[in-house]
Amino acid sequence: MQGTAPQGTDVPAGRHRSVRRRGWGLSILLLLVVLIAAGGVAAARYYDWCREASGPREPVTFEVERGTSGSEIVDSLHERGVLRCALVSRWELRRRSLEDELRSGSFELTTNMKLDQVLVVLTTPPEQVPTVRLTIPEGYRLTQIAERVREELRISSEQFNRAVAKGDWSLPPYLPDDAESVEGFLFPETYEFRAEGTTADDVIDRLIDQFGAVAEDLPWDNAEALGVMPYEVVTIASMIEEEARVAEERPVIAGVIYNRLESGMTLGIDATLLYDDPTPDGQLSFSDLEYDSPYNTRIHGGLPPTPISSPGLASLQAALEPAETEFFFYVLCGEDGHHEFAVTNAEHEQNRARCGE
């Protein structure tokens, strides 16, 4: 018959070790739970801290180039002191699927901004401002541009002409400080301006800037070899613009102008006198041809004092890259607007007769 152990009898040593092991296991588990919970709280607090901001708010102009990734933008913002934490900001950007929503352009931010504030600025399209398209055709002169500006932008011709005449417009080396006029430098193009609040100065400044942008890629080094200054190149280009009707004739007309200048002949270009027409009716009478104007290139040698219109890119190119030709004369011939060219005056007179001049 099996008996029971008397009171006070020790439990076997193996059972003590098993109980101790279970006790240690529960303690470690509880410790891990506590650590994980504490880590979660700390992570949550760090996450919230990263999304917040404090400290001085200094202005920051932030540029985002097209094609820059969201991560690169966030890293730059962190480096500039706009955002606290790059890692959390990158994660938040991906979580919200906003990486492709960040816009390119220039943004006015500050240091120590909240992440949500920055994302609003970088993802919100700018408010649409009503605009007006202004088209300046090639060959327009200042008076015509002033009228077009009046029609499209409701800026009076008087305001525009006053702004033009201020005398403080320049675009070295093309338009020098001492130039008599900005004629020729308001580049013919289609522009977009604010429908409200645009001033005459805004228009002039924009058109001159566009001339500078277009002019950058032209071979201005040729001017010295041609014996002219950049301003004079524009004057020649303006005459080409007024004279040429067929595109391929522009370099040939340019070559005739340079040939006559080099030989000391007067240019004899009636378009220059029409610019300062004593009877502004678009026609030149015999008395007009004798008008003693610096723009009368029938009686005065060299170039007129200013350009006579706004030349386009093709005319500027022709003025810098004229055709190598022996021609000294040309006459408009035929309804298609082409010219007949001649080397001698006798040939020129024959062309005039044939073309009905």
Residue pLDDT, tens place only, 26-58: 555 555 544 554 455 565 677 778 878 788 999
**Residue 13, pLDDT score:** 54
Give the mean model confidence (pLDDT) for residues 341-356: 94
Percentage of the chain lying above the pLDDT 90 cut:
67
User: What is the CB neighbour count within 10 angstroms for residue 218?
Assistant: 19
* pLDDT-based confidence at residue 69 (cuts at 50, 70, 90): very high
Whole-prediction pTM value? 0.70
**Residue 21, pLDDT score:** 55
In this structure, are residues 284 and 274 in contact, taking their beta carbons and an 8 Å threshold?
Answer: yes
Average confidence score pLDDT of the chain: 87
pLDDT digits (tens, 9 = 90+) for 143-180: 999 999 999 999 999 999 999 998 789 999 999 998 98
Give the mean model confidence (pLDDT) for residues 276-301: 82
Long-range pairs of 55-59 with CB within 8 A, sequence gap ≥ 24: 55/111, 55/112, 56/111, 56/112, 57/110, 57/111, 57/112, 57/113, 58/110, 58/111, 59/108, 59/109, 59/110
User: Tokens 């024959």, residue?
Assistant: 350
Domains present along the chain, CATH in parentheses: 59-123 (3.30.1490.480), 131-215 (no CATH), 227-325 (no CATH)
Give the mean model confidence (pLDDT) for residues 259-278: 92
pLDDT digits (tens, 9 = 90+) for 181-190: 999 999 999 9
pLDDT digits (tens, 9 = 90+) for 81-139: 999 888 888 888 888 898 889 999 999 999 999 989 999 999 998 888 899 999 999 99
The SS3 call for residue 106 is: strand
